Amino acid sequence: MIRILVTDGMEQSAIKELRESGFEVVEQFYDAAELGNKLKEFDVLIVRSATKVREAIINEALGGKLKLIIRGGVGVDNIDVAYAESKGIAVRNTPNASSAAVAELALGHMFALARFIHIANVTMREGKWDKKKYEGIELGRKTLGIIGMGRIGRELAIRAKALGMKVLYTRRRGPSEEYNEFEYSTMEELLAASDFVSVHTPFDKNSGTLIGEKELAMMKDGAYLINCSRGKVVSEEALLAALNSGKLSGAGIDVFEEEPTKNIELISHPKVSATPHIGASSIEAQERIGEEIVTIIKGFFN
Residue-wise burial string across 109-147, b where 16 or more C-beta atoms lie within 10 A, e elsewhere: bbebbbebebbbeeeeeeeeeeeeeeeeeebeebbbbbb
Q: How many CB atoms lie within 10 A of CB 50?
A: 13
> What Rg value do the Cα atoms of the chain yield, rounded?
21
C-alpha distance from residue 93 to each of 12, 79, 228, 243 (Å): 18, 11, 18, 35
| Best CA proximity match to 79, nearest among 165, 70, 105 | 70
- Which of 230, 236, 257, 288 is the catalytic position? 230
- Which of 159, 269, 277, 288 is the catalytic position? 277
Give me the CATH topology for the region 99-274: Rossmann fold (3.40.50)
259: annotated active-site residue: yes
Task: In whole angstroms, give the CA distance from residue 46 to residue 9.
Answer: 9
Question: 280 burial class (0-12, 13-18, 19+ CB within 10 angstroms)?
Answer: buried
C-alpha distance from residue 112 to each of 119, 138, 143, 291 (Å): 8, 11, 17, 32
Per-residue pLDDT of the chain (302 residues; tens, 9 = 90+): 999 999 999 999 999 999 999 999 999 999 999 999 999 999 999 999 899 999 999 999 999 999 999 999 888 989 999 999 999 999 999 988 999 999 999 999 999 999 999 999 999 999 999 999 999 999 999 999 999 999 999 999 999 999 999 999 999 999 999 999 999 999 999 999 999 999 999 888 878 899 999 999 999 999 999 999 999 999 999 999 999 999 999 999 999 999 999 999 999 999 999 999 999 999 999 999 999 999 999 999 98
Task: In whole angstroms, give the CA distance from residue 74 to residue 289.
Answer: 10
Residue pair 106/198 in contact (Cβ under 8 Å)? The answer is yes
Q: What was the pLDDT predicted at 95?
A: 86
| Best CA proximity match to 200, nearest among 244, 160, 156 | 156
Predicted TM-score (pTM) above 0.95 = no
Instruction: State the pairing for strand pair 143-147/223-227.
Output: unpaired
Q: What was the pLDDT predicted at 222?
A: 98
Q: Where in the chain is the domain with CATH 3.40.50.720?
A: 3-94+283-301, 99-274
- Which of 85, 258, 259, 265 is the catalytic position? 259
| Best CA proximity match to 220, nearest among 197, 186, 201 | 197
Task: In whole angstroms, give the CA distance from residue 152 to residue 280.
Answer: 11
Question: 6 burial class (0-12, 13-18, 19+ CB within 10 angstroms)?
Answer: buried
153-160 CB contacts, 8 Å cutoff, 24+ apart: 153/103, 153/198, 153/200, 154/99, 154/179, 155/99, 155/100, 155/102, 155/103, 155/104, 156/103, 156/106, 156/107, 156/198, 156/200, 157/182, 159/103, 159/104, 159/107, 160/107
Instruction: State the pairing for strand pair 166-170/183-184.
Output: parallel
Question: 267 burial class (0-12, 13-18, 19+ CB within 10 angstroms)?
Answer: middle
| Best CA proximity match to 72, nearest among 290, 220, 278 | 290
288: annotated active-site residue: no
- Supply the CATH classification number for the domain 3-94+283-301: 3.40.50.720
